[in-house]
Amino acid sequence: MTLYEKSQKLLELPTVLEMLAKEAVGEAAKDSARALTPTDDISTVRDRLKETTAAKELMTKNGSPPSFSGVRDVNTSLRRAEMGGSLNNRELMDIALVLMSARLTAAYRYGSEN
């Protein structure tokens, strides 16, 4: 076992990533959380720290972000629509929820009520 692998085990990285995945909404987000890996690239580390700091500051200013609960992956429906296929009511409602969540997230980001 390499020092890198020992460090990940010692720091319980898989456990931490699983805890993060449990907080994510949707399988794609859960999979992304589980797939996170440490990096030793200083530029990437700085970028990630800036993102984390910006998120913390935004939450301090605006409170908790809007929930993505109930949002589903609509990529398959969108691809079918692009090819001229029809969508059923459930798919249209799922897409509407994604769009509403995007609007609420943008409003949260820029500090407005709309």
CA atoms within 13 A on the CB side of 22: 6
Percent of residues, the chain, with pLDDT higher than 70 = 97
pLDDT given at position 60? 93
Q: Which two tokens stand for residue 17?
A: 């990533």
pLDDT tens for residues 12-39?
988 999 999 998 888 888 999 999 988 8
pLDDT given at position 32? 94
pLDDT tens for residues 76-93?
999 999 999 999 999 999
With a cut of 70, say whether residue 114 has pLDDT above it: no
CB 80 within 8 Å of CB 87: yes
pLDDT given at position 3? 74
Residue from 6, 29, 5 nearest 17 by CA:
29
Question: DSSP secondary structure string, 22-42?
Answer: HHSSSHHHHHHHHT------H
pLDDT given at position 27? 86
pLDDT given at position 112? 61
Q: Which two tokens stand for residue 45?
A: 């580390």
Q: Position of tokens 């970028």?
A: 47
CB 78 within 8 Å of CB 85: no
